[in-house]
Structure formats: structure tokens, C-alpha cells
A and B are shown apart, each in its own frame.
Chain A
Amino acid sequence: MDNGTIIKTRDLTKVYPLGRTSIRALNKVNLSFEQGEFAALVGPSGSGKTTLLNIVGSLDAPTEGSAEVMGRRVETLSHREAAALRSRHIGFIFQSFNLLPVYTAYENVEFPLLLMKMSAAERRKAVLDALEWVGLADRAKSRPGQLSGGQSQRVAIARAVVKRPGLVLADEPTANLDAENSHMILDTMESLNRNLRTTFLFATHDEKVIRHVRRKITLIDGAVAADDRTKPDGGGAS
């Protein structure tokens, strides 16, 4: 892996058994991403975007091929090693926000830090900083039920970046948001990408997201159909 390359896939293939047949969700995907990229996987439903994101996020394992993330071969990791990789290096943003319902915004953002060796004072500063980045410092004590969709997703973003991960994976982050909130969170993520050099990789078919990213990879039937750099200041290409 080149210096600065944080994701590299080689002939990445994922096959899901379905009764007597099977579905090839990914078919020999070869991609690489440099640190600081702001990229999107686009394509129709069932094209393999989420599957690729899951494998890169070490939540799933490939059937064939390999995926190297932050220098670790995902397919060789044990459950514990995969958890450690996610805990230290990867942040997740989900379509349905997936905030822990009984925790406040502060506690949700604090959660990933509880899994790391960090003093309470360091944790507190990191959480408040993250909430500040997403403009929700004043809603620290609110519970998810008291937040709007846009606010919830901003809390989720703060949770994803609070540990300063090298990579943030966002699966349809704007699908449940209106246009105004979508722009707001995309601006937030773009700003974090520029300021913290965090790599953002989206799975989306939202045009608003696609307009923001600097690289667009189109997947069709599990294969890379196109890899376009839409704006300058991107990372490496596949």
C-alpha cells in the first residue's frame, strides 16, 4: 500500500447465498483511496455500495479478493481485531442516524471514546469539541427523541469524528433529511474533511451528496462502471 493510501481493494468479491442460487453483490472491485478524500459510491439499489462500505468498515468479510484498510487486511481479522480497527480508525454514519436512544447527545458522542483509553477530562474536551464542530454544543443534554432529523445526523457525525478517525463511512447519510438539512450536514462533513483531513466515503444516490464530493465511483451490478474526479483537491484514483 502506498504511503497515504488508506483503502485498497483487490478483486474484491462478495457473494450472498440465496436459497439454491446466489447473488454476486461485488464482482472483482479494485479501488484505492488516499487520505483526505471526499468520495462517493453511487449507483442504483443493489449495485453493491453498502456491501463495499460494510467490508471496508470490517463489518463484513469478502468472499474472494482482499480489502486493505489502514494497513490491515480486513478478511484476515478476527472479531476482536475488526472491533479494534473500527474503534480506533473508522467512524460510521448511518441513514437512520442510529443514535443510542437512552443516551443524551453528549453521551452518544462520548460512547466511542469510552472504548478507548482516555481520561475523563480528555473525553470531555473531545466530546465538546466535536459537538462544537457540528454546531450542537447547546444540545449536549438532549436525547435523540428531542432532536430533529438534521440535528440527530449532526450528532451522529460528531460521534463518527470525535475520535479523529482516519476514515468515516457514511451510508446514505442524507436519505432521511430534507434539502436544507442535507446541505447543512454535507457542509459540516466537508468542513471536517478539509480541517481534520478525515477521509469520507459515502454510499449514496442523492444528487446533493454527489454534487459535494470530489470523486464519484459508479457501481453497476457490483462492478466499478466509472471512477470520476468531479473536483480538484482529491486523493488517488483506482
Chain B
Amino acid sequence: MKLLKLAVRNMLAAGTKTWLNALVLSFSFVAIIWAQSLFKGLDQESSRALTDIEYGGGQYWVEGYDPLDPFSIRDAHKPVPPELAALETEGRAAPVLVVQGTLYAGGRMQSVLLKGIPPGQRLLILPTASLAPADRETPALLGTRMARAAGLKKGDMMTVRWRDVRGTFDARDFVVAEVFETTVPSADTGVVWIPLEDLRRLAGAAGEATLVVVEKGYVSGPAVAGWTFKDTGFLLRDIREFIEMKTIGSSIFYVILLALAMLAIFNTQVLSIWRRRREIGTMIALGLTRARVIALFTLEGSMLSLLAVLVGAVYGVPFLAWFAAHGWVMPVGQADSFGLALGNTLYPVYSVGLVAGTALLVFAVTTVVSFLPTRRIAKLKPTEAIKGKLS
């Protein structure tokens, strides 16, 4: 406690040098929080959008289904088992049937996935109500990306060809009942949503599904034969890995900032020990052990990190608050280029853990850097140091 008091006194007495070091260190502190909060925002926003629009609280997949393997899709359908059918009845699950097809619109041909979904489902935030039975043609729901790629708009007709479960090709005209906007490319690009029962009938797969989406907060019960439960952790793992990779990649930016700040602190410590050698000798003569002198100098250096947190708070809190309110408006088309479910504005996410973790990181690094030059004190002869000589 007494050492702490002495350290604070010495640190503040160093005046401008202390404040400059704290300011440089605070830049790193604020920059790390800023960058990390963006990636947290990225993670949170894309995860929320994906669970809202596509994954729900998890999915049961028919065994053998792999959304990344087109060859698995043809055979990936089975009757919905009673356990999952019961969940559907309670409104806690929504079966989806996936069939490969080809879209002919405006003279163009395009591979698509036909996804049958119950129009009355409320688990996914999709305007499936517009798929309610129409008088004439089968309604279809397209995302804006898909509609743009196919040159379609609401009310347009399009022809879709598919192969049913027996391998017979068939085709039919659909009417675009709605074009919806979504940040989730995988629910939009190359996807045509149609009523589940229509697709079951057209594909000859009555009562079947490829996957069953369950409600958020669903806790997986006993295993369902022939079906595998994929929780959100599994479904979001690619996104999380991607963001983690990006986070590590961007960390080089604040490692450089932190290194610059540490260089300043190291330099200050080296100079301080050289300049204050008489003081060090005097302290030892007055009864301070070398270990306590080392602790005092290390403490003085590491206290800079606490001062940096305070200095950083002065300008960082308003800056980060402003940033949280306005977000980072990304250039048009930038969001899709990430391949993530992002809106046009990315909002940072701050947490106590992020701020405390960053403060702890800065404190730990500063302490180590402050300690390294102080090892020289252990070699200092007090009889020389008292006279201002460096032994």
C-alpha cells in the first residue's frame, strides 16, 4: 500500500512525460476496444440475422443431408417423424423440404433450390404469409438478390423445372408473390421459397422434409432416428471461425499500437532508472530492499496503464458512445462481399468483459515492459548510486 502511494506520487511527479505516455497508451486501449467491439458487433449481428431468418433455435437434418454438397440434396428427404410432427403442431417447429431445380425467367436459366416452408410458420422471420394458397398459380417468395439476378419482380411469372423423388422431370409456372429484403444471402441468393405442401405434392414427397427448424431456446430431447440435431453453435461455426480469423488478422493493427506505447514506456523506464540512480541509492540507504525498489519502479510503470484507462475514458467514452449510436456505415455492396449476414450499418457491441479484458491486457503488458528495465537496479551498487554513478 505504501509502495503504491509512493508509486502514484512518483508517477504524477514526472509530469508531462507521464501524461504523454498515458495518452499514447490510451490510444491503444481505445483502439483495441473499438476494433474488438466491431468484430463483436459483426458476430452478434450476423448470428442474430442467421438465427432469425434461417437457423431458428437449431435444425434437425435428415441423415446424409449436407447443404454444401448438391449431390446429397436429391436423396435428403424423409417423412417427418412423429416427435417432430408433434413439435410442428405446437408451433415449435417448421419442416422445410429442399429440392434442386432450374429457374427459367426472362429467357435466362438459373440453378435454384426450391425450399418448401409452411406459410403459417412463425419461427423464421420470412414473409411466408404471402405464400398462403392463391386462386391460380403457385406463389413463390424471392429475396431481392435472387429477384435482381433473375430479373423478376412481384407479380411476375417464372417457370421452374425440377425432378421429383422418382427421378421424373416436371415443370410449372410460379407467380412471384413477394420480394423480400434480407441481410442473409443464403436465404436469398439462388433460393425460391414456395408453400411446403405444394412442393411436397410437386416432388412426390408427401409428408416429407429435408430439415426441421425448431424454435429458439429449444433444448434437444432424445435422439430422433434418421435425423440429426444441429444446434446453433454448429450452424454458426463457419461464421464464428471467419470472424475469429478476421479478428486475429486485424489484431496486428493494435499490436503495433501497443508496441509503440510499450516502446515509449520501456524507454521512459530506462531513462528514469539512469536519471534517478541517486534516488535509488538513497532509497536503498534509507532501508528499502532492492526488491522493493524494483517493485516500486515496476509499479510506477504499470500504474501508467491505469492512468491510460482514465485518460482513454475521457475521450474514448464519448467517441465509443457516438460510434455505438451511429455505427459504421459500410459502402454499398460491402456487406455482401463479406459473405456475412450484415446490414448496411455495422454497430459495435461493447461489454464489461471486453473493457475489463482489454484493461487487463494493457496492464499486464505494461507491467512486464515496466519490469524488464528495472532488473538493472538489482546490479546497482548502492554506494555508487548514492553518488549518482552507474555501476
Interfacial residues, chain A to chain B (CB-CB below 8 A): 50, 54, 57, 59-60, 79-80, 83-84, 86-88, 92, 94, 96, 98, 100-103, 107, 111-112, 114-115, 159
Contacts and interface: CB of A to CB of B under 8 A. Distances in A.
Contacts of B383: 50, 54, 59-60
A111 B9 contact: no
B47 to A, nearest CB: 52
A100 B279 CA distance: 6
Contacts of B284: 59, 83
Contact of B287 (A54, A60, A83, A94): A83
Contact of A59 (B13, B14, B382): B382
A176 to B, nearest CB: 13
Contacts of B286: 86-87, 92, 111-112, 115, 159
B285 interface: yes
30 contacts: A50-B383, A57-B285, A59-B284, A59-B382, A59-B386, A60-B381, A60-B383, A79-B290, A80-B289, A83-B288, A86-B285, A87-B287, A96-B278, A96-B387, A98-B278, A98-B279, A98-B281, A98-B285, A100-B282, A100-B283, A101-B279, A102-B9, A102-B10, A102-B13, A112-B287, A114-B2, A114-B5, A114-B6, A115-B286, A115-B288
Nearest to A89: B287
Interface of B: 2, 5-6, 9-10, 13-14, 278-279, 281-291, 381-383, 386-388
Sorted nearest first, the 4 A-B pairs with minimum C-beta distance are A87-B287, A102-B13, A98-B282, A83-B289
Contacts of B388: 96
Contacts of A159: 286
Nearest to B15: A102
A175 B386 CA distance: 16
Contacts of B281: 98
Nearest to A102: B13
A107 B2 CA distance: 12
Given A50-B383, A83-B288, A98-B279, 12 more contacts: A59-B284, A59-B383, A59-B386, A79-B290, A86-B287, A92-B282, A98-B285, A102-B10, A103-B13, A111-B286, A114-B2, A115-B286
